[in-house]
Amino acid sequence: MSRLVVDWGRCDGHGLCGVLLPELVDLDDWGFPVVGVDVPDDLHPAAKTAVRSCPALALRLHS
Ligand code: SF4
């Protein structure tokens, strides 16, 4: 199982990941993602899409 993490030095908090992956990413009051969660196998494709879509290259999947 992979883990979804954020590089806080890069994240600009526009919240796209929360829109693309609402099952795993909550956004805080400032639009920053609340992550650090394990990614179930069935959500792995959606998580990869969110990682590829992050405009700041801040979202990562760690095995
Ligand atoms: S899409 Fe990327 S830059 Fe935007 S809030 Fe999510 S991790 Fe941060």
For the record, the structure tokens of 38 come out as: 């394990």
Ligand 1 atom with the shortest distance to the CA of 59: 7
Q: pLDDT for 8-30, tens place per residue? A: 999 999 899 999 999 999 999 99
8 Cα: distance to centroid of ligand 1 (angstroms): 9
Full-prediction pTM beyond 0.85?
yes
6 Cα: distance to centroid of ligand 1 (angstroms): 8
Per-residue pLDDT at 63: 87
User: What does 2-61 look like in DSSP terms, one character per residue?
Assistant: EEEEE-TTT-----HHHHH-TTT-EE-TTS-EE--EEE-GGGHHHHHHHHHH-TTS-EEE
What structural domains and CATH numbers belong to the chain?
2-62 (3.30.70.20)
Ligand 1 atom with the shortest distance to the CA of 13: 5
Look at residue 62 and tell me whether its pLDDT is greater than 90: yes
Per-residue pLDDT at 17: 96
For the record, the structure tokens of 43 come out as: 């959500």
Ligand 1: which residue has its CA nearest to atom 3? 11
Which residue reads 């609340």 in tokens?
34
Convert 28-39 to b/e letters by CB count within 10 Å (16 or more is b).
Answer: eeeebbebebeb
